[in-house]
Structure 1
Amino acid sequence: MYFLESVIFLFIGAFLLTYLTIPKIIRVVEYKRLMDSPNSRSSHVRRTPTLGGVSFFYTLIIALFFIKGWNSFDEGMYIIPGLTILFIIGLKDDLVVLSPGSKLIAQVLAISFVLVNEGFTIYSLNGFLNINEIPYYLYIVIGGFMMLTIINSYNLIDGIDGLASVVGIVIMVIYTTIFYLTEEYYYALIAITINASLMAFLGFNISSDRKIFMGDTGSLIVGFIISILTLKFLALKPQTYTDLPFLLENAPLIAISILIVPLFDTARVFAIRLANKKGPFSPDRNHTHHVLIDYWGLSHKQASFIIGFFNLIFVMLFIVLGSTAKNLGMVIMLVSVVLFLGFIFFKYNYNFTTLKQKILLKRKVDKFKIKVEDSGKNKKTKKKSKNTPK
């Protein structure tokens, strides 16, 4: 009963704190002219306030204070330093663009605080591909690589309105359920906090008149929390899996299915860039969400919700398969699905130069529509001012 009360308190508190303070962030950003200006790769045409992720940081810090009694290994004291590092780096990158190397160094430092905490140590893969015990140094390497991959993958999908929020909400709902069933309530409450913030932020992110981006500040923070929850999920002890609807040895595959959207998109984009003899972090419009918008003509909202729905269905499918199937069969299934998706999107392996004319034309049309709307609003305003009695 006490856990349920904590859930209600945290969810409402995090939602309201985010929802009520984002308008103030928007006003400050507009006043200081810190807005994100559209460029040749942008999916938006107006200068838009950024730094929405600032609200995630202080909401989560306050939440960690209230849930500190639920942890077993004082995890909060190890999460906060990494969270603060990524907040500072993300904020600086939103204001002054940083090099990928600088961001990577900061990420390595941030995840180091988490990896050394005993509560996150992965001792075994519990028979996955016949792997049982894992040496500590191998855990550091695998865990560190996994966290860096998740953080950057989530950062890369934040390219259109609503996508990062929708995918983040789906992931948080799944992890909330998993940690509730395994009685790891501390992590369930963290997931609920981030979920509430993302839901509150989503309304602004897809709005036409109060729009704000989460920026790198937000995507790095949320990606960091997702990586922590994934690491903890894989570190769960065998006795905690008794109430989960899948076999213990299938946990790594369930984790991949939960993160399928950012992982698949990142792998696909990196492969295309390397094939085109470019750096893996070279900017372009080869992301899956760009394909849905540029080629299939979907809106930002449509693309975001379709991708989020696919993520949810994919996880549910693998949870059902994971309840009976052995992990080798699931690996074959996962590889087959990824190859199938890769084949579908292969014909959209385009270079930015081939799309330049189309993107510029679309941008001109959008700008023209905005001018027409603004001129219509100005005419209405002038009519009202003339009709107003002096």
Structure 2
Amino acid sequence: MFFLETAILLFIGAFLMTYLTIPKIIKVVEVKRLMDDPDHRSSHTSRTPTLGGIAFYYTLIFALFFIRGRDLYDEAMYIIPGLTILFIVGLKDDLVVISPGAKLIAQACALTFILINPSFTITSLNGFLNIYEIPYFIYLIIGGFMMLTIINSYNLIDGIDGLASIVGIVIMVIYTTIFYLVGEYFFALITITVNACLIAFFGFNISSDRKIFMGDTGSLIIGFIISILTLKFLALKPQSYSELPFLLENAPLIAISILIVPLFDTARVFTIRIANKKGPFSPDRNHVHHVLIDYWGLSHKQASFIIGCFNLLFVVLFIVLGSKAKNLGMVIMLVSVVVFLSYIFFKYNYNFTNLKQKILLKRKVKNIIGRKKESNRNGVDGGVKKNEKYKE
């Protein structure tokens, strides 16, 4: 009962802080002319305020202050330095673009604070692929790589209105349920705080007159929190999994299913860029959400909703399968789904030059059709007016 009251108060407080602060951020950004200018690969056509992630940062700092003491290993004090590093780096990248290498170094510094806390140490994979105990240095390598992958994967899906918010909300709902069931209330309260921030931000992100982007400031912070939650989930003690509706050995596959949207999209985009002899971090319009918009003609809201629903359904499917199936069967299932999705999205020609030409041609055809319809309407209207004049 005490947890429920705290959770409700924390959700309301975090929601109000984010909701009331974002209009102030929009006003400052507009006055100082710090808006995001659209370019050849942007999904928006007008200058839009960014820096929405500023509200996430200080809301999380306040939340960590109020829920401190519920963490057994003083995790809050280790999370705050990492959050601050990524906040500063994200803010600088939103204002003056910094190189991917500099961002990676900053991310590595931020996640070091998490890896050294004993609460997040993964000591065993509990039989996943027949692997049990793992050395500490292997944990540091796996944990560091996993956190870097999650942070950058989430950062990369922030490309259209509402997508990063919806995917983040789905992930937070799942982790809230998991940590509540296993009694890790500190982490459950963090997920509730982040969810409140994302829900409050979502309304502005899809708005037509008060739109704002979370920017790298926001996506790096949310990606960092997601990576922390994933690491903690995999570091849970074996007895904790007795409260969860899936087998202990399937935990790594459940984690992958929770993050399937950012992980699949990042792997796919990196593969395409390398195949086109470009750097993995070079910008383009090869993301899944760009395909849904450019090729399938969906709006930002429709594409975000479809991807969010897919993420949720995929997790539910794997939790159901994970309650009975051994991890070898789960791995086969996961590989099959990835191969199927790869076939669907790889059948298009994703060379950036060809893609740009196809988009321009599609727009020209639409403009020609629109002009023809307008001329036909004018012709009909003119004929009607002539007949009326003749009658007079």
Q: TM-score, normalised by structure 1?
A: 0.92
**Deviation sequence 1:54-88 (CA, Å, 0-9, x none):** 00000000000011021000001100000000000
**CA–CA separation in structure 1 for the residues paired with 2:352 and 2:16:** 41
Aligned match of 2:178: 178
What code does the residue aligned with 1:352 have? F
**CA–CA separation in structure 1 for the residues paired with 2:358 and 2:132:** 53
Q: Deviation of residue 47 (structure 1)?
A: 0.0
Aligned match of 1:354: 354
**CA–CA separation in structure 2 for the residues paired with 1:363 and 1:86:** 39
**CA–CA separation in structure 2 for the residues paired with 1:131 and 1:359:** 48
What code does the residue aligned with 1:320 have? V
Aligned match of 1:38: 38
- Map residues 253-272 of structure 1 onto 2, 5 A cutoff: 253-272=253-272
Aligned match of 1:167: 167
**CA–CA separation in structure 2 for the residues paired with 1:334 and 1:43:** 31
Q: TM-score, normalised by structure 2?
A: 0.92
Aligned match of 2:193: 193
**CA–CA separation in structure 1 for the residues paired with 2:227 and 2:355:** 34
- Map residues 289-328 of structure 1 onto 2, 5 A cutoff: 289-328=289-328
**CA–CA separation in structure 1 for the residues paired with 2:8 and 2:349:** 46
**CA–CA separation in structure 1 for the residues paired with 2:359 and 2:34:** 25
Aligned match of 1:153: 153
- Map residues 111-126 of structure 1 onto 2, 5 A cutoff: 111-126=111-126
**CA–CA separation in structure 2 for the residues paired with 1:340 and 1:363:** 30
**Deviation sequence 1:74-106 (CA, Å, 0-9, x none):** 001100000000000000000000000000000
C-alpha contact (below 8 Å) 1:120/1:235 kept by paired residues: yes
C-alpha contact (below 8 Å) 2:349/2:355 kept by paired residues: no
Q: Deviation of residue 15 (structure 1)?
A: 0.5
- Map residues 94-243 of structure 1 onto 2, 5 A cutoff: 94-243=94-243
**CA–CA separation in structure 1 for the residues paired with 2:133 and 2:349:** 41
What code does the residue aligned with 2:256 have? I
The alignment status of 1:344 with 2:344, answered yes or no, reads yes
Q: Deviation of residue 351 (structure 1)?
A: 1.6
**CA–CA separation in structure 2 for the residues paired with 1:299 and 1:358:** 18
Query: Gapped runs of 5+ residues in structure 2?
Result: 371-392
Alpha-carbon spacing, 1:319–1:25, altered in 2? closer, same or farther (3 Å): same
Aligned match of 1:250: 250
What code does the residue aligned with 1:7 have? A
Partner SS, residue 347 of structure 2: helix
What code does the residue aligned with 2:2 have? Y
**CA–CA separation in structure 2 for the residues paired with 1:269 and 1:348:** 13
Q: Deviation of residue 319 (structure 1)?
A: 0.1
Aligned match of 1:14: 14
What code does the residue aligned with 2:120 have? F
Q: Deviation of residue 3 (structure 1)?
A: 0.3
**Deviation sequence 1:213-249 (CA, Å, 0-9, x none):** 0000000000000000000000000111111000000
C-alpha contact (below 8 Å) 1:272/1:349 kept by paired residues: no
**Deviation sequence 1:24-68 (CA, Å, 0-9, x none):** 000000000000000000000000000000000000000000110
Alpha-carbon spacing, 1:342–1:103, altered in 2? closer, same or farther (3 Å): same
Alpha-carbon spacing, 1:362–1:60, altered in 2? closer, same or farther (3 Å): farther
**CA–CA separation in structure 1 for the residues paired with 2:227 and 2:343:** 28
**CA–CA separation in structure 2 for the residues paired with 1:281 and 1:148:** 14
**CA–CA separation in structure 1 for the residues paired with 2:170 and 2:294:** 25
C-alpha contact (below 8 Å) 1:234/1:251 kept by paired residues: yes
Partner SS, residue 70 of structure 1: coil
C-alpha contact (below 8 Å) 1:245/1:319 kept by paired residues: yes
Aligned match of 2:380: none
What code does the residue aligned with 1:30 have? E
The alignment status of 1:4 with 2:11, answered yes or no, reads no
Partner SS, residue 73 of structure 1: coil
C-alpha contact (below 8 Å) 1:286/1:349 kept by paired residues: no
Q: Deviation of residue 360 (structure 1)?
A: 4.7
What code does the residue aligned with 2:44 have? H
Partner SS, residue 28 of structure 1: helix
**CA–CA separation in structure 1 for the residues paired with 2:203 and 2:358:** 29
Q: Deviation of residue 138 (structure 1)?
A: 0.2
**CA–CA separation in structure 1 for the residues paired with 2:198 and 2:346:** 32
Q: Deviation of residue 358 (structure 1)?
A: 4.5
Query: Gapped runs of 5+ residues in structure 1?
Result: 370-390
Identical aligned residues as a percent:
82
Aligned match of 2:388: none
What code does the residue aligned with 1:125 have? L
- Map residues 361-376 of structure 1 onto 2, 5 A cutoff: none
Partner SS, residue 125 of structure 2: strand
What code does the residue aligned with 1:109 have? C
Partner SS, residue 69 of structure 2: helix
Larger radius of gyration: 2
Partner SS, residue 345 of structure 1: helix
**Deviation sequence 1:99-148 (CA, Å, 0-9, x none):** 00000000000000000000000000011111000100000000000000
**CA–CA separation in structure 2 for the residues paired with 1:348 and 1:53:** 34
**CA–CA separation in structure 1 for the residues paired with 2:303 and 2:72:** 40
**Deviation sequence 1:304-353 (CA, Å, 0-9, x none):** 01000000000000000000000000000000100000001011241221
**CA–CA separation in structure 2 for the residues paired with 1:354 and 1:363:** 14
What code does the residue aligned with 1:216 have? D
**CA–CA separation in structure 2 for the residues paired with 1:37 and 1:29:** 13
What code does the residue aligned with 2:284 have? D
Partner SS, residue 41 of structure 1: coil
